[in-house]
Amino acid sequence: MAKYVVKRLLLIIPIILLVIFIVFNILNITPGDPATIILGKDAPQEAIDQLNKELGMDKPVMQRYLKYVTDAAKLDFGTSYRSGKSVSEEILSKFPTTLKLAILSVIVSSLIGIPLGIVSAIRQYSVLDVTLTVSSLFLASVPGFWLGLMLILIFSLMLGLLPSNGIGSIKHYIMPVLTLGLPSAAFLARMTRTTMLETMRQDYIRTAKAKGASKSRIINKHALKNALMPVITMLGMSFAGLLGGTIVVELVFGMPGLGSTIITAIKMKDIPIVMGSTVFLSILFMIIMLIVDLIYAFIDPRIKAQLK
């Protein structure tokens, strides 16, 4: 197992090199150079050329790529063109907000989604099941910004219960987390229901029934572990996705997180920030996927056997 983990961690290196290469080239072929954006269109050409030279933009792309990679290996990701702060500092100051949002959303969505999905499967076609199906379809199809605005309308403007903006207290996180968590809970509930129904149709469930096991025992002991495996993958993916993708919610609720930082950086052609966050999120994504695989192995002995 330890060997497998080391192997997977080492595999991150070539993948990251490739990711950096691709992003580097994409940034290179997009129009506009950083100096023009920093100094403005009306700045004299000499000043722009001068700044571009200072930023190293006059060198060929491969050379810049190699320099970036060697610097990154020393954990130096450069400084932001805009703020002049180091990239690591910039990312690490914004990341906690996003991380909190992502963790809370995943917790909320699994606490709501998984139990509802299970109940829905056990009571297939009941009133509860139909209600859940309809409401999850609704939640899964409304766009995040709309849900966020509706929550603000109800809880901030009409009821005055929750702050609409900022990150001061835990109260500030309630609506953003619901905005992210509810649609995700809806997806999870649908998925749990499907995999649960699928599992309940398996032969080994019939075997357990033939042994004389009660319905609740069959669900808890025989079905859940098998049914939740695809759900865990989905949770891992959505967690990883949330880390880089809470932009809409960050904008709607005025939260200074990583998502809005990346968007601004792309607009401003702040290359070091874009590169730095890409590398950071890619590594994070791969580590989360590794953890998901390890959880898998923990649950399913067949996968554990493969990891040896």
Partner 1 sequence: MSLLEIKDLEIIYTNGKNVVQAVNGINFTLDKKETLGLVGETGAGKTTTALSILRLLPERTGKIINGSVNFDGIPLLDLNEREMQSIRGARIAMIFQDPMTSLNPVLTVGEQIEEALMLHNIDNESKEEITKRVDEILTLVGINPERKKNYPHEFSGGMKQRVVIAMSLACSPELLIADEPTTALDVTIQAQVLDMMEELKQKLDMSMIMITHDLGVVAKTCDKVAVLYAGEIIEYGTFEDFFINKAHHPYTEGLFGSIPSIEDDAERLTPIEGLMPDPTELPEGCKFHPRCPKCMEKCKTEKPKDFIKGTHSIKCHLFAEEEN
Which residue's CB is nearer to partner 1, number 287 or number 294?
A: 294
Q: Which helix (H) or strand (E) holds 157?
A: none
Which residues of the shown chain bind partner 1 in the complex (CB under 8 A)?
A: 124, 202-204, 206-215, 217, 221-222, 225-226, 299-302, 305
Distance of CA 91 to the CA centre of its chain: 15
What the block records as the tokens of 178 is 């619901």
Closest approach, Cβ 135 to partner 1, in A, equals: 24
What letter would DSSP give residue 30? S
CB of 7 to partner 1, least distance (A): 23
Q: Minimum Å distance from CB 204 to partner 1?
A: 4
Containing H/E element for 285? helix 271-299
CB of 229 to partner 1, least distance (A): 9
SS3 state at 79: strand
- Residue 234 Cβ vs partner 1, minimum distance, rounded to whole Å: 19
- Both tokens of 102, joined, read 């992502």
Comparison of 85 and 221: residue with beta carbon closer to partner 1: 221
CB closer to partner 1 out of 156 and 202: 202
- Of the pair 28, 207, the CB lying nearest partner 1 is at 207
Give least dist CB 225 to partner 1, A: 5
Q: What angle do CA 129, 193, 237 make, to 5 degrees?
A: 135
Q: Whole-angstrom Cα distance, residue 208 to residue 220?
A: 12
Helix axes 271-299, 87-122, angle to 10 degrees: 40
Nearer to partner 1, 73 or 305 (CB): 305
* Cα–Cα nearest to 152, from 144, 164, 160, 161: 164
Least separation, in Å, of the C-beta of 238 and partner 1? 24
Summarize the chain as % helix, strand, coil (round to 5): 80, 0, 20
Helices 271-299 and 2-29 sit at what angle, rounded to 10 degrees? 150
Task: Give the C-alpha separation, 216 to 194, whole Å.
Answer: 18
Beta carbon nearer to partner 1, 171 or 215? 215
Residue closer to partner 1 by CB (options 32, 301) is 301
